[in-house]
Amino acid sequence: MQRETRIANYVLGVLSTLALLLLSLPLSTPVRSLKAAMGYVLDPLSYHGEAGYARLAGAPERIRRLLEADIENERLHAELRRNEWLTTTVSSLSLENERLRRALALKIPGVRSPVWAHVLERDPVHWYRSVVVDAGSDRGISLNDPVLGPRNGKLVAAGRVVDVRPNTSTVLLLTDEGASVAAYLSLGTLEGLVQGQDGPNLRMNYLNAEVQLSTGDLVYTSPTSSTFPPDVLIGHVARVNPRDPFLAFQSVEVSPAADASSLQELIVLRSSAPAHAKLAASLETAP
Amino acid sequence: MRSVFRTTIIFVGAMCLQWWWNTHLAYWGAGPQFLLVLTVLVAARRGTVTAMLAGFVWGLYLDVARAELFGASALTLTLIAYGVGVVRRQVDLRAAGPLATMTFIITWAAFLCHGLIGLIFKKSFEWSGPVVIIATPFLNAGAIAVASLLWEIGGER
């Protein structure tokens, strides 16, 4: 015990002297060097500690997102299984349709392959005119390809491709003043021409002047449309314009199903296969 | 080897804990002073010399973050370790009750020591504020009770 006490006294003396020296000479070079050295050694503790804490603090959120992703993955798997059956049914119907068209000597429409594209930019001055998407000729996009947009799980008409670059394309929206598409009204199958007005709504012209029109009627692309596949939803009748006694037709205001102001992703129906697919096909067929 | 590893873990872990609590959980500046608490605990369990050495380095760690009075915490923790070593000969500090009481008193002694060091070397008494002065002894007493329990569970001497 005596020895331990003596050692403790010595250590106390040494450490106290050292501490008093540090306190007495705060601006001297050795003290400042020691402080700098201590900071150099101990600063990583708080630096890496904070980084580790930030990582751990974000862990519950990441785990929650992981669990949500897992649940969504399960749901999508189930949906995919259901869709496999749907795809089989559709392809079977498509084959039957083609066989019947051949039997009736009708023109067989060209096969289109869809490709998803993200909206890259839009002209803020002309909001309803066009958007640029991140798919170009590299993905088989060609001029006048129809473009659809998702709306409540369904695909609706959005516009057509008017400019194709290697990696991007410009899509002229239906709401643009220069855009038009042949369409029909679901009730009565009245044919007309839907035209953009550089605003949120469209205008459907050339409707039979004698027919009684009503709001809420759905507007679909016509089989006579040269750009769009038939029966794609365009929108619904928002207002019936008063009849003009000097015109032989009447018109309606159409509220588009694809909201031009909130388009994020679009689907382009390619009329041609992508270049690399063509190349692969040519290689496969080569002797 | 295992003992050295454990000691290193406790030594570095205490500094990490003190930093983390001060940064994220301290309110109005009040929070347990884990380094002071562990200095007292080490002095009570492992002896004065070990506690003084650990307390001195822990004190320097606290002082590095301060703009002035570099060495004040080192001196305070060294003196606390020595003081506990002296008391340890008279009082059984292995029990949680005396240890908590001792820590409670020592916390105020530490504030006083800091104040006096400031008065001597900076010509102004280092006042930590009423909330800190009142709350910290209770927090330290609670912390040492928990630390003592963990020390026992961990099988430390």
Residue B39: both structure tokens together? 């200095």
Whether residue A60 has pLDDT greater than 50: yes
Other CB atoms within 10 Å distance of the CB of residue A203: 18
Amino acid letter for position B133? I
| A23–B117 C-beta distance less than 8 A | yes
CB A249 within 8 A of CB A99: no
Q: Which of A214, A158, A201 is nearest to A181 (CA)?
A: A158
Amino acid letter, residue B34: F
- Its CATH architecture, for the domain B2-153, is Orthogonal Bundle (1.10)
Whether residues B71 and A12 touch (CB distance < 8 A) is answered with no
Q: For residue A11, which residues of chain B lie inside 8 Å, CB to CB? A: 48-49, 52-53
Nearby residues of A65 by Cβ (< 8 Å), 6 or more positions away:
none
Q: Which long-range contacts (CB under 8 A, 24 or more apart) does B87-93 make?
A: B88/B43, B88/B44, B88/B48, B89/A1, B93/B44
What is the rounded distance in angstroms from the CA atom of residue A101 to the CA atom of residue A63? Answer: 54
Mutate to test the interface with A, among B46, B48, B68, B114 (most CBs of A within 10 A): B48
Q: Residue B115 has which token pair? A: 């104040």
The complex scores an ipTM of 0.84
Over 80: is that where the pLDDT of A281 sits? no
Quote the distance between the C-alpha of residue B114 and its chain's center: 13
- Report pLDDT for A198: 82
When pLDDT is averaged across residues A56-60 and rounded to a whole number, the result is 82
Confidence of residue B94 (pLDDT cuts 50, 70, 90): confident
pLDDT at B157: 59
Domain-wise residue ranges, chain A? 1-106, 112-274
How close is the nearest chain A Cα to the Cα of B86, in Å?
Answer: 9
Interchain proximity A42–B64, CB inside 8 Å: yes
B52 and A12 within 8 Å at the Cβ level: the answer is: yes
Q: How do the domains of chain B map onto residue ranges? A: 2-153
A115-137 pLDDT per residue, tens: 999 988 877 667 778 888 999 99
CATH code for residues A112-274: 2.40.10.340
What are B10-39's pLDDT values in tens digits? 888 888 888 888 878 877 778 899 999 999
What's the CA gap between A268 and A176, in Å, rounded?
18
Give the pLDDT confidence score for residue A24 in this predicted structure: 87
pTM: 0.52
B32 vs B131: CA distance, rounded Å: 13
pLDDT digits (tens, 9 = 90+) for A162-186: 989 998 999 999 998 889 999 999 8
Q: How far is CA B151 from the centre of its chain?
A: 15
B78 touches chain A (CB under 8 A): yes
- Across chain A, mean pLDDT equals 84
Which tens digits make up the pLDDT trace of A24-41?
Answer: 887 788 888 888 888 788
Task: Dig out the tokens for B28 from the structure.
Answer: 């109005």
Per cent of chain B over pLDDT 70 is 97
Between CA B5 and CA B154 the distance in angstroms is: 13
Query: What number is the average pLDDT over the span B51-76?
Result: 88
CB-based contact, B23 to chain A, within 8 Å? yes
Residues on chain A touching B58 (C-beta within 8 angstroms): none
Candidates A182, A176, A135, A141; CA nearest to A158 is: A176
How confident is the model over B123-134, as a mean pLDDT?
A: 83
